[in-house]
Chain A
Amino acid sequence: MSLISCHNVGKSYGHKRALDQVSFELEAGQAVALVGPNGAGKTTLFSLLCGYICPSQGEIHILGHHPGSKALLGKVAALPQDARLDPNLTIESQLVLFAQLQGFNKQAALVECERVLNLVDLNEIAKHKPLALSHGMSKRVSIAQALIGSPQLVLLDEPTAGLDPANAKAIRELVRNQSHQTTFVISSHNLDELEKLCDKVLYLDKGILNQSISIKDNQAAHYLTLTMQECDTEALMTQLSHWPQVNSIKSNQHNEFVIRYNLMQDFELENQLFKLFSSQGWTYRTLQRGRTLEDKLFSNE
């Protein structure tokens, strides 16, 4: 049984079409990224998956059930965008209520609350009220509540937006560590982050699912992404385009090159590149097997 199955899902707000004929199937396992520009319909899709709103057309099934059905209570959790805890109650009292509703007894709910706050390194604020927390801390508490009871599916809408780099890294680590028992669907604009965490990527644009790609696809072996520190861009591109094993080379960003080549034994192309850098006195920053997620999503190849 698929973890998530969407078939021709559409959602309209009056005359505005937020989602149109979206179909995909996701299996449990590696985290999934949901990418798209602002207004692409990512939050609408999340809201549909959580059962906050109903689709105008189509069918959604999570673990074989409709979103919002009783069978999914406690199995699906979310970090919804812009949702806030009650400012008049302590974090602990609210998280304990959530845990109790999920079936924990009072004592076990307290332990679970402590566990999830520990995961986001915020145990000391359990007795605080939400208004006493910074934006980043509030976001981490909201992530903590999504982990109560170790649900099978967690939907995270912009989990690291507004977090400082250290805490964003901690959240990425947390997602990675929990991935063995929970499947995460993450919406974010940070493609580097998604590349590190996710395998499958769903790309939404103007309410339409444009692409569904795998980061670790078998095409990876035919590409190298080279980022130079210092070089003569034109000379580099001219030289490489004359190499017989190179099919094409392009530069989408300053000092970043995507090389498509015929797969060779013993890192021959890589060795030739290093020799070229040495002879020309150029320095490179990174040499990456495959293409970046950004290149996969936005290049025409």
Chain B
Amino acid sequence: MDIVSPKGSISGVMLLAQFELKKILFSTRGLIAVIAFALVWLLILWYPVKEASVYLFSTEFKQFITALFGEDSVSELFTWQVPEMAIVWVAALYLFPLFSILVSADQFASDRARGTFRFLTLRTSRNTLFFGRFTGYLLIQALLLLLTLFATLLLVAYRDISAILPALGSSLFVFVNIMIVLLPYTALMAILSLYANSARQATIYAVLLLAGISIINNILDYYLPDLSSLLQWVAPGAQLSMMINTHGVSSLPIAAIPLVQAAVLLILGKTYMARIAL
């Protein structure tokens, strides 16, 4: 038999990531999850997004949104060339983090509880396994986001084929920004699913953690406003309300927040993975 050497870190990460993607696309359980996701987005696309071209530029709607979020918070939203993309941007900004929590809740939990990790860690390093799974779940979310944007582009083309080019530019902006937003959520779920015994437990931990941070921050805001102004950036999604009113390159400085959060969470996760008993 030929002597073989284990895969290097990068090729190992890519192999594990591809395997996770295949798991979703070629398993009944994964396909059911994709269909459920598609149905939710079908409703969003069919009602608010399809009608966006009509109501987004109506005076009444502008007044309503301005009154709800404030003049400075949504002014950029009305400057989008393709209104459907503006609605998808806002919806994706708040819905994709929720999907991320649900989709990435089983990065490690089931495999760890079942002992499947014991087969894997004799063939690849814990680091490769951690980053492989993380990358795999990012690929899954990228695929879901691409499907959403493709469906939106079809709607835009159906309404006005000449709007397709600016819509493509906006899609690229939405894709890059939403993927950056999802990084800390996916990294957080990687840690929680390492700790939890099941995907459901990891999801519960995520809800408790995010709600807990929000409550603590509100209390601190009252008693220690200086500390609160610093801690408000700790939780994933802290920048979401600021991102609504951005378009194009103006969103990039804000992207630093989720990137730093993701880096910190990934270092924590990598350290935890190295120490955890399997």
Binding site for B on A (CB under 8 A): 47, 50-54, 68, 70, 73-74, 76-78, 80, 82-89, 93-94, 97-98, 100-104, 108, 145, 149-150
Contact = CB atoms under 8 A, between A and B. Distances in A.
B121 interface: yes
A-B pairs with lowest CB-CB distance, top 7: A83-B115, A103-B4, A101-B123, A73-B6, A52-B278, A80-B118, A83-B118
Contacts of B124: 73, 101
Contact of B115 (A82, A100, A102): A82
Contacts of A85: 116, 119
Contact of A101 (B22, B27, B120, B278): B120
Interface of B: 1-2, 4-7, 12, 15-16, 19, 22-23, 27-29, 110-111, 114-116, 118-126, 275, 277-278
Given A52-B277, A97-B19, A150-B1, A103 B6 contact: yes
Per DSSP, chain A at the interface is loop
B19 to A, nearest CB: 6
A145 B119 CA distance: 8
Nearest to B12: A101
14 contacts: A50-B122, A68-B126, A73-B6, A74-B4, A83-B114, A84-B116, A86-B116, A98-B119, A98-B120, A101-B7, A102-B6, A103-B5, A103-B6, A149-B4
Most chain A Cβ neighbours within 10 Å, of B115, B122, B275? B122
A68 B278 CA distance: 11
B251 to A, nearest CB: 38
B122 A86 contact: no
Contacts of B7: 100-103
A104 B4 contact: yes
A154 to B, nearest CB: 10
A149 B5 CA distance: 10
Given A74-B123, A88-B23, A89-B27, A101 B6 contact: yes
Nearest to A105: B4
A50 B4 contact: no
Contact of A83 (B12, B23, B119, B126): B119
